[in-house]
């Protein structure tokens, strides 16, 4: 299979062609030629214009299988990822049974082997994600787990985090600690602020997040190891992580697409698709998150894609589950806030942090690339949702640019 990319601008700081507009010939998943002009070929697919970057990686994706196939199967979910521009996705342990064993990781790897994109499981930090005992961390790492964490569940036992950091340090494991104190959160469902008071909804204060971030960073400084704090949402968290990085601590963090884009004022209609965790915050926090992205304090942006069937969302706001899909909206939303280069940086930084395969766009290298354009403005509607579950917070939002395709050694999808 041959594919010729004509006049594409390369965005890849690891490549000697970064920032240049080139023609690229790809054959059987290998970059065969890069030149200012390559003659058109009769026996290959041609796509012209736009940008090309290393394939994007999402550090927080959930599907349903095994256990919740009605939400999203692995096969269909991986197709959604590829058509959204992602060639690598880190899968959360949100399945039934929870991914907390060697065999559980093996299943996710083997069940997705035929997909264009590649799955990298996150193993549960604790058995069944109950927070009591460490799971089989080393065995899962040997099976292919790239990190360990209990999705959307804070680590209530501080000593458990200390032990986890110390245990994983010798084999370079990364511990994920979701920043939320359940006792402070209580029965909160939205950001604690003016909007929560006006709507009569129980609030989740910024303190619930920041007290855990501060605790975890203190433990990291004491114990060593590697820590990733997923989906921060407050100005205080950004400041704390910036201070920790200045000290040289081995910490990274991400922010969810929704927390970067929305404020809690969007909750006025009690639409449960906007019920996410961490909750949507007010403008002060959103501005701090965007600045954290721009100055490098925040390492990566995630769609935090979490498909849920209608029974989980068609309820009173208090009773509905937390979560929104987001893969399909990621590029379109980010380009309304950030430059092309910053967007690519935020969508590829997970590769280095989690040791995912990373190949520069160079002659002779395996292709693992995303094609996209920053041209065109459009409004996301329900027909743009490829996911089986339709709990998407971004319907009705103004977007910019489009994904044009992905090419990997596993296969390709082009518009």
Active site residues: 304
At residue 80, φ and ψ (nearest 5 deg) are -60, -45
- CA–CA gap between residue 26 and residue 37 (Å, rounded): 14
Where b means 16+ CB within 10 Å and e means fewer, 139-165 reads ebbebbbbbbbbbbbbbeeeebbbebb
- CA–CA gap between residue 97 and residue 283 (Å, rounded): 38
Helix %, strand %, coil % of the chain (to 5): 35, 25, 40
Q: Return the structure tokens found at 261.
A: 């884009």
DSSP state of 192: S
Q: Using the structure block, give the residue that is written with the tokens 């991914």.
A: 99
Each as own residue / partner, the long-range contacts of residues 130-133 (CB below 8 Å, 24 or more positions apart, any chain) are 131/155, 131/156, 131/157, 131/160
* Number of other CB atoms surrounding residue 1 within 10 Å: 12
DSSP-derived secondary structure for 261-329: H--GGGGGG--GGG--SSPP--HHHHHHHHHHHHHTSS-EEE--B----HHHHSS-TTTSPP-BB-GGG
Q: Return the structure tokens found at 91.
A: 């899968």
Q: Using the structure block, give the residue that is written with the tokens 């989906």.
A: 231
DSSP state of 52: E
Using alpha carbons only, what angle is made at residue 126 by residues 145 and 227, rounded to the nearest 5 degrees? 60
DSSP H or E stretch at residue 340: helix 340-353
Task: Map residue 256 onto helix, strand or coil.
Answer: strand
* Number of other CB atoms surrounding residue 35 within 10 Å: 11
């Amino acid at each position: 299979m041959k594919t010729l990319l004509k006049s594409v601008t390369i965005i890849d700081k690891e490549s000697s062609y970064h920032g240049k507009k080139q023609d690229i010939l790809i054959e059987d998943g290998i970059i065969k030629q890069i030149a200012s002009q390559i003659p058109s070929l009769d026996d290959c697919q041609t796509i012209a214009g736009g940008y090309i970057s290393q394939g994007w990686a999402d550090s927080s994706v959930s599907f349903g299988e095994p256990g919740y196939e009605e939400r999203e199967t692995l096969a269909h979910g991986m197709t959604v990822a590829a058509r959204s521009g992602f060639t690598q996705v880190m899968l959360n342990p949100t399945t039934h049974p929870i991914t907390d064993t060697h065999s559980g990781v093996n299943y996710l790897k083997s069940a997705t082997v035929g997909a264009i994109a590649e799955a990298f499981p996150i193993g549960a930090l604790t058995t069944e994600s109950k927070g009591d005992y460490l799971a089989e961390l080393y065995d899962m790492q040997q099976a292919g787990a790239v990190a360990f964490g209990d999705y959307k569940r804070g680590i209530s036992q501080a000593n458990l985090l200390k032990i986890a950091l110390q245990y994983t340090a010798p084999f370079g494991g990364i511990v994920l600690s979701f920043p939320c104190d359940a006792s402070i959160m209580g029965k909160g469902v939205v950001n604690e602020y003016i909007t929560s008071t006006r709507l009569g909804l129980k609030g989740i204060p910024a303190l619930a997040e920041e007290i855990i971030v501060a605790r975890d960073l203190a433990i990291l400084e004491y114990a060593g190891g590697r820590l990733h704090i997923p989906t921060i949402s407050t100005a205080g968290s950004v400041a704390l992580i910036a201070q920790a990085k200045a000290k040289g601590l081995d910490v990274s963090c991400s922010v969810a697409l929704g927390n970067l884009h929305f404020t809690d004022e969007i909750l006025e209609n009690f639409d449960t698709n906007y019920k996410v965790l961490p909750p949507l915050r007010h403008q002060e926090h959103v501005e701090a998150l965007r600045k954290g992205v721009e100055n490098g304090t925040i390492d990566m942006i995630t769609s935090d894609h979490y498909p849920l069937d209608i029974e989980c969302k068609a309820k009173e706001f208090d009773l509905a589950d937390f979560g929104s899909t987001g893969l399909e909206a990621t590029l379109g939303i980010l380009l309304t806030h950030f430059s092309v280069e910053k967007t690519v940086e935020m969508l590829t930084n997970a590769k280095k942090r989690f040791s995912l395969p990373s190949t520069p766009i160079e002659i002779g290298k395996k292709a693992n690339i995303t094609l996209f354009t920053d041209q065109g403005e459009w409004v996301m509607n329900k027909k743009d949702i490829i996911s089986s579950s339709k709990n998407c917070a971004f319907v009705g939002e103004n977007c910019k640019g489009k994904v044009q395709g992905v090419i990997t050694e596993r296969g390709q999808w082009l518009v």
